[in-house]
Amino acid sequence: MFNLKLISSWIPFVTSVVASEVLATEFSRNVSTCPGYELQNLEENQFGLTAKLSLAGPACNAFGIDISNLTIQVTYETTSRLHVNIFDTAQKQFTIPEEVISRPDPPTSSFVNSSDLVFNYQSSPFAFWITRRTEGPETSVPLFDTRMQSLPPTPINNLTPNGTNISLDGFPLVFENQYLQLTSALPFDTNIYGLGEAVASSGFRRDVGTGKTGGTVQTMWARNIADPVDGNMYGSHPFYMEHRFNESTNTSQSHGVFLMSSAGSDILLLTPPSSNVSLIQYRTIGGVLDFYFFSGPDPKSVVEQYGETIGTPAWVPAWGFGFHLCRWGYPDINETKAQVENMRAADIPLEVMWNDIDLYHALRDFTSDPVSFPAEEMRSFIRELAENDQKYIPILDAALPKLTNATDIYHPYTKGAELDTFVKNPDGSEYIGQVWPGYTVFPDWFSNTTQDWWTEALLNWSLSGIEFSGIWLDMNEIASFCTGSCGTGANLSNTTVDHIFPGNPGNPVLDYPECYDSSVWGPSGNVSINGTLTFGCDPAISSSAPTSKRDFVNEEPLAVQSSEDFDVNTPPYAIHNGFGPLSNMTLATNATHAGGLFDLEVHNMWGMMEEKATHLALQQVQPGKRPFIIARSTFPSTGKWAGHWLGDNFSRWQYIRFVIPGVLQYQMFQIPLVGADACGFNGNTDEELCNRWMQLAAFTPFFRNHNERGAISQEPYRWDSVAEASRTAIATRYSLLPYWYTLFANASTQGTPPVRALFFEFPDEPDLFSIDTQFLIGRDILVTPVLSPNVSTVDAILPGGDNVVWRDFYTHDVVSPTVGNVVTLPAPLGHINVHVRDQSAILLHAEPAYTIEKTRQGPFSLLCSVGSNGQAFGSAFIDDGISDPPGDNTTITFTVSNNTLRINPVGAFHIAPMLQEITVLGIPDPENRNVSVQGRPLTWTYFGNLRKLSITNTSIDLNEPQVIEWM
């Protein structure tokens, strides 16, 4: 799977640094005396340039050993992508190998003189800045600018982003073996998005430090933690988009910046006091400075250009857009089956049933408990689901049990040990952690044998009776409940872990729903008593999140030693990891992968590499079918292999407000299949919160309800109001499936984000730049959920001003703003506001059914919202919804102009369902004129108050071009 010669070539840097030099060096931990670099030996070529960078003075050894000789390569890869790579000339620092993340093909034509971006530099001290060609280097504000003169004077002390004390000693380029620093000036209070994964208190727009909160410290170190606010968590994505508004022209432009690095790092967004510029600073503890710049110039283009670099998302099977149900705490197959039966009895569509770790025998991957989940009964249950067009997904955790007893039979470990597939200690022994099944080992994705072993384990699991349709990858940050390789001297036959599951004696989940006062209302916890609502506080004040009962914080100090030649375990610069020492609650940083790689350098990629291996395995286990994988830890290119859920959130109003920023963030990261656990995972939800959350989740790409053991049950049938709201929202979701499916086809082929912040479509409206309480699905559907308790209305911005007409998706009424672009919309419990944009044509399923398959077999309808120019346009991508790779397909375009709708299909896929209904909004009364298709009269009704033409019983064949006229 990997070239071990290539991998081993990275290692000599770790071992070649003279031990006495490292040990004798007193690190200054201050970069103010760092000399920077001088550019020499510049060579230009048809694709860009290369040059040498030499240390410009005595080494400062701030947090490591300064590397004297660097190389810079600048490549104009396309007209919109510029690659700037600064690396050690000896190439001993770790870089992400092509076998892990493939890069775009090298350019074959020169873009040096035609690129949208221009690389500018000064030789001494070396600095560079990126400008737009159309604006010129002298007149424009650079997109990225590392010159000292562009940055505020230093030192700057006592900055407090995220409540963290930060000092800026200086801004030289620092390139050491264990510390790299690069700083760029930004326009004051600019709009930055991305840099994740983050539950940011500032929302989708990142805090650059011009307000009271002081800025952002975004730490890149994958961590097993329940959705912390402003802390590092599951994923690492060093990519951001900046959106700049020009007040003199009232226009905007966007660009993107991506650092291709897996190194642990802090990325700072700051605005020092009295500074007229903001800044971004990268502080990494290894690797190289491998930057890609994307010119945009609009938000969607930036995201697409990023997708061209790291890979566009995997194709999603059509059934993946259905409603999914799970909980940690279905104790056996009977309870799991009961949920399926109860959902059907309540007539709430259920597409996919899941099981958490309750499924396992002795909490071991690739098993099912012989008593509570007998394999043959599971096989029958899963096949019964399949007969009803439903699916089944089980969980896979990242750790496997370590066997010590010869009578203990567990093939995945035995075979893995035989094939040498597990992560090692530096001495070559198995690295042993501790997770659910006790003492554990961890797959090493850099080993040449691991892929085949993983594929075999998945195949055997399926053959044993767990005939899964997809896989859920959890705890792949990677999680371990002890510090370091904790098996030395331990009783490895002890399979117990020092924790108590939530809901078990000693660890009950007793917290009342948020803002419920039992001293006033009694012990019921009901959302209303005798007709009076019981919610009684400000959720913004009450919402500090407790520690999840699924996460276990080890407060013991890190008891490990540094290696002889390289400070692997305690890098001199301490990034702001929320767990403190980098090895806490995960693999130790000196855990060793094939080829001698330390986990310090590849930690952030482990989850993505598991996702890639699982995707490739499913293509073997289920040939011809699209893999469906939902995973927790993510990294650039994860979207090629898997989707993501937003982690172990909380049943609080604060966390429903984090859903939209989280979904928007992952659209940028090319992982569009994303959603949050509806109603919350940790703690106890209540009827109102679950009602609102199920509605919101129905309009996010991945739609699952999931909660923890011991909490109250929150399946949507548990409350009548939630059941009704869910039925309505799911029906709307399923009717929109052709629209969703087309958006995801565009994502897979072009990288276009399916879900969009409002300013993605309306980039020149500054009022939208920080809006993350509403969102767009594609360009045409505006969603405005209720995110607060005890309300029956919601304020919405209607973007586009006088140039756009928004109509209610359900009633087709035109909605007009009351003040500026803001309108107050009715939002009684059970209703989510959805609006459709004019000049749109949206293909719908006319008869949403219980499952996606049944829905896809039913007839279509078409909704056209005509603009003031009399025009509308839309398209729909249709195929079989499952084939991998995608096979025959047909794209239908719908064009309205001059009182005529033209339908034009192109492609080889045969579309069986007919177009049954057509609704055209925003047109004059046809009066006594004919409404016809291909000259054949149609049945129609006109609603004057809505300017709506309703055409029914059309039975139009979508495999042939069609012309519908109202003349």
pLDDT in tens, 694-713: 999 999 999 999 999 999 99
- Verify whether residue 477 is a known catalytic residue: yes
Alpha helix ranges (H) inside 538-658? 539-542, 599-602, 606-621, 653-656
Taking only the tens place, the pLDDT of each residue in 605-653 is 999 999 999 999 999 999 999 999 999 999 999 999 999 999 999 999 9
Helix axes of 375-387 and 333-345: crossing angle, nearest 10 degrees: 20
**Residue 662 to residue 956: CA distance in whole angstroms:** 40
Lowest mean pLDDT among 132-141, 215-224, 401-410: 132-141
CATH tag for 37-308 (out of 2.50.20.10, 2.30.110.10, 3.40.50.1000, 2.60.40.1760): 2.60.40.1760
430, 444, 474, 715: which is the annotated catalytic residue?
Answer: 474
- pLDDT for 286-308, tens place per residue? 999 999 999 999 999 999 999 99
Look-up: residue for tokens 């492609």? 907
- Show the tokens assigned to 781: 């559907």
Instruction: Please state the domain extents for the chain.
Output: 37-308, 318-502+574-739, 838-966
Q: Mean pLDDT, the chain, as a whole number?
A: 92
* pLDDT at position 526: 74
∠ Cα 676 553 596 (to 5°): 90
What is the domain class of 318-502+574-739 according to CATH? alpha beta
Assess whether pLDDT exceeds 50 at residue 5. no
| Nearest C-alpha neighbor of 240 from the set 211, 273, 207, 284 | 207
Average pLDDT over residues 780-809: 97
Q: Which of 88, 648, 677, 688 is labelled catalytic?
A: 648
227 catalytic residue (yes or no): no
**Residue of 477, 567, 611, 677 with catalytic role:** 477
838-966 carries CATH number 2.40.128.30: no
Query: pLDDT tens across 897-927, in order?
Result: 999 999 999 999 999 999 999 999 999 988 7
Tokens of 418: 């035989």
pLDDT value of residue 140? 76
318-502+574-739 shares its CATH topology with 838-966? no
The DSSP annotation for 819-841 comes to BTTEEEEE--TT--EEEEESSEE
601 counts as catalytic = no
Contact 573, 827 (CB under 8 A): no
Grade residue 18 by pLDDT with cuts at 50, 70 and 90.
very low
Examine the pLDDT at 552 and tell me if it is beyond 60: no
pLDDT at residue 139 in the model: 61
Q: How many whole angstroms separate alpha carbon 180 and alpha carbon 70?
A: 12
Looking at residue 967, its pLDDT comes to: 74
| Residues contacting 715, CB < 8 A, separation 6+ | 325, 327, 339, 342, 343, 705
pLDDT at 492: 82
Report the alpha-carbon angle 795-798-803, nearest 5. 160
Q: Kindly report, residue by residue over 408-454, the tens digit of the pLDDT.
A: 999 999 999 999 999 999 999 999 999 999 999 999 999 999 999 99
pLDDT at 16: 31
